[in-house]
């Protein structure tokens, strides 16, 4: 393996890890607060990309400046995804919040299937082309192992990770989130509005997922209604790998998964790319069920 080829594989893994991180952060935020695996989170990722595509095509007809079109499409898609996340929490999850966890899990799977088929019927079951909306940097394009789209994905991933960490640790809402994740009853007794904090968590996670869907679609150049399912499953594996409920853990697990897939396809076979995620999941559940950075929970009696 030449050094240049190694760099190409390395940056490929870094790109995959960044993509999984953008989805896994939403997974782990929701789980950390309401102990719910939101299996419909991948569909929000997909809906964000579809919303952006529709807006780009609609605004192009109005002859708006290209930069303005992209900014408007991304912002509206993120707001729309946040609205989907809010509605999803109120319709599918809030009614079963006090029910056994199996009820919430079934509700999440049902919501995932509903959103998939909703988009399939409202749009199309075929692959659609997604416009190349990401800018090109000439100094990057001169190398064969990296491109401008990857640089932009890295940039947004880092910004979101830093911003989300700051928000959770240094804002009033973030402190409420952390309090709620530790003890919901005590948080309620302290005057924290539980329903409001849970809704905000779903909205933030959904908006980030939508941005991830747009970036990935622009990078790959195509989109379809099923794109969120496998990406969501892999992001869930990444969150569990790093320690679900732990933001740094979700990011760490995402990059481990991304590099495992990237190098695994080279040393094993590209046919097994999707298998590596589940091999890692089995291993982590066998040897450290709480995840790499996750803390073991002791049952209260």
pLDDT of 299 higher than 70: no
pLDDT, tens digit (0-9, with 9 covering 90-100), for 212-271:
999 999 999 999 998 998 888 888 888 888 888 888 888 999 999 999 888 888 887 777
3-class DSSP assignment, residue 44: helix
**Residue 1's pLDDT is what?**
61
Model confidence, pTM? 0.90
For the cut 70, the answer to whether the pLDDT of residue 301 exceeds it is no
d(CA 178, CA 187): 9
* CATH number of the domain within which 77 lies: 1.10.3470
* Within-domain flag for 296: no
- pLDDT greater than 90 at residue 14: yes
Classify residue 226: in a domain, yes or no. Answer: yes
Name, in order, each residue with C-beta under 8 angstroms of 18's C-beta and a sequence gap of 6 or more.
Answer: 153, 154, 157, 254, 255, 258
DSSP class of residue 93 equals I
SS (H, E, C) 112-163: HHHHHHHHHHHCCCCCEECCCCCCCCHHHHCCCCCCHHHHHHHHHHHHHHHH
Residue 271 lies in a domain: yes
SS3 at position 222: strand
Taking the alpha carbons at both ends of the chain, their separation in whole angstroms is 56
**SS3 assignment, position 198:** helix
DSSP 90: I
Give me the mean pLDDT over the 153-158 stretch. Answer: 92
In a domain, 132, yes or no: yes
All residues at 6 or more sequence positions from 297 whose CB lies less than 8 Å from its CB, including other chains: 290
Q: What is the mean pLDDT of residues 206-213?
A: 94
Look at residue 279 and tell me whether its pLDDT is greater than 50.
yes
Q: Is residue 297 part of a domain?
A: no
Tally of residues, the chain: 301
- Domain of residue 51, residue span: 3-287
Give the Cβ contact number of residue 198 at 10 Å. 23
Q: How confident is the model at residue 297 (pLDDT cuts 50, 70, 90)?
A: low
Count CA atoms closer than 13 A to 181's CA, side-chain side.
21
Residue 99 belongs to a domain:
yes
Question: pLDDT per residue over 175-185, tens digit each?
Answer: 999 888 888 88
300 found inside a domain: no
pLDDT in tens, 92-147: 999 988 888 888 889 999 999 999 999 999 988 889 999 988 888 877 777 877 88
Backbone phi and psi for residue 98, each to the nearest 5 degrees, phi listed first: -95, 0
pLDDT tens column, 53-107: 999 999 888 888 888 999 999 999 999 999 999 999 999 999 988 888 888 889 9
Residue 253's alpha-carbon distances to 105, 215, 232, 235, 257, in angstroms, are 22, 20, 14, 9, 6
Q: Are 134 and 148 in contact (CB under 8 A)?
A: yes
Query: How many folded domains does the chain comprise?
Result: 1
Contacting residues for 119 by C-beta, under 8 A, at least 6 apart? 43, 46, 47, 50, 225
Note whether residue 294 is domain-resident: no
């Amino acid at each position: 393996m030449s050094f240049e080829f190694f760099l190409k594989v390395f940056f490929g893994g870094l790109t995959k890890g960044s993509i999984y991180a953008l989805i896994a952060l939403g997974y782990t935020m929701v789980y950390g607060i309401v102990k719910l695996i939101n299996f419909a989170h991948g569909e929000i990722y997909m809906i964000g990309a579809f919303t952006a595509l529709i807006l780009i095509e609609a605004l192009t007809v109005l002859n708006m400046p290209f930069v303005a079109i992209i900014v408007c499409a991304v912002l509206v898609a993120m707001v729309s995804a946040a609205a989907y996340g809010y509605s999803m929490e109120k319709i599918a999850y809030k009614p079963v919040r006090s029910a056994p966890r199996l009820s919430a899990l079934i509700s999440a799977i049902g919501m995932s299937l509903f959103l998939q088929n909703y988009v399939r019927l409202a749009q199309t079951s075929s692959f659609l082309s997604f416009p190349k909306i990401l800018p090109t940097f000439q100094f990057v394009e001169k190398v064969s192992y990296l491109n401008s789209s990857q640089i932009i994905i890295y940039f947004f991933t880092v910004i979101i990770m830093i911003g989300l960490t700051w928000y959770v640790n240094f804002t009033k809402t973030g402190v409420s989130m952390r309090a709620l994740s530790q003890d919901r009853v005590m948080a309620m007794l302290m005057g924290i509005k539980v329903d409001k904090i849970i809704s905000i968590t779903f909205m933030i996670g959904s908006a980030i997922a939508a941005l991830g869907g747009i970036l990935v679609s622009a990078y790959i150049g195509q989109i379809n209604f099923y794109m969120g399912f496998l990406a969501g499953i892999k992001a869930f594996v990444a969150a569990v790998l790093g320690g679900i409920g732990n933001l740094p853990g979700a990011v760490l697990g995402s990059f481990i998964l991304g590099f495992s897939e990237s190098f695994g396809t080279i040393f094993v076979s590209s046919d097994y790319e999707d298998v590596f995620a589940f091999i890692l999941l089995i291993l982590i559940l066998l040897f450290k069920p709480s995840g790499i950075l996750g803390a073991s929970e002791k049952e209260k009696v």
